[in-house]
């Protein structure tokens, strides 16, 4: 019995291919999803910069939208359209919500859906 255990060591070729396939799949998944989250961090930074601007509560909806658009263009933000941005601007109160989603095809008919909701509220309503 002892000699048969010594002969049964290591991985078979099929188990090695299976493990390498799993590693390749998860690597592909990370390479597809990581840029989406990197883009979202740029959206968060642009929102934080607009929120920290000195006179944000006195700006109109168009001025806030223009400021966001400039920051998005500077940082090469993708996937966010003007339809995804909701701005409520009243004297002394500003609320900005950005809600968008990204569908990234992985392979064949397999896709990943990532949804984001970012925003801020400044002032008294």
- pLDDT of amino acid 45: 95
- pLDDT of amino acid 8: 66
pLDDT digits (tens, 9 = 90+) for 51-82: 998 888 889 999 999 999 999 999 999 999 99
Instruction: Please tell me the distance from the alpha carbon of residue 19 to that of residue 40, in angstroms, as a whole number.
Output: 32
Can you give the pTM of this predicted structure?
0.80
Run of H or E including 68: helix 61-74
- pLDDT of amino acid 2: 59
Q: Which residue, among 119, 77, 80, 63, has the nearest Cα to 96 in the 3D structure?
A: 119
Phi, psi (rounded to 5 degrees) for 4:
-75, -30
């Amino acid at each position: 019995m002892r000699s048969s255990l010594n002969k049964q060591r290591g991985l078979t070729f099929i188990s090695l291919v299976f493990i390498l396939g799993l590693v390749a799949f998860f690597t592909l998944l990370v390479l597809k999803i990581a840029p989406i989250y990197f883009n979202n961090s740029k959206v968060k930074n642009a929102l934080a910069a607009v929120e920290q601007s000195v006179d944000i509560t006195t700006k109109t909806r168009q001025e806030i939208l223009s400021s966001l658009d400039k920051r998005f263009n500077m940082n090469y933000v993708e996937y966010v359209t003007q339809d995804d941005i909701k701005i409520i601007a009243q004297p002394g109160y500003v609320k900005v919500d950005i809600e968008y989603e990204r569908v990234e095809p992985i392979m064949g008919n397999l896709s990943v859906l990532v949804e984001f909701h970012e925003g801020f509220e400044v002032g008294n309503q």
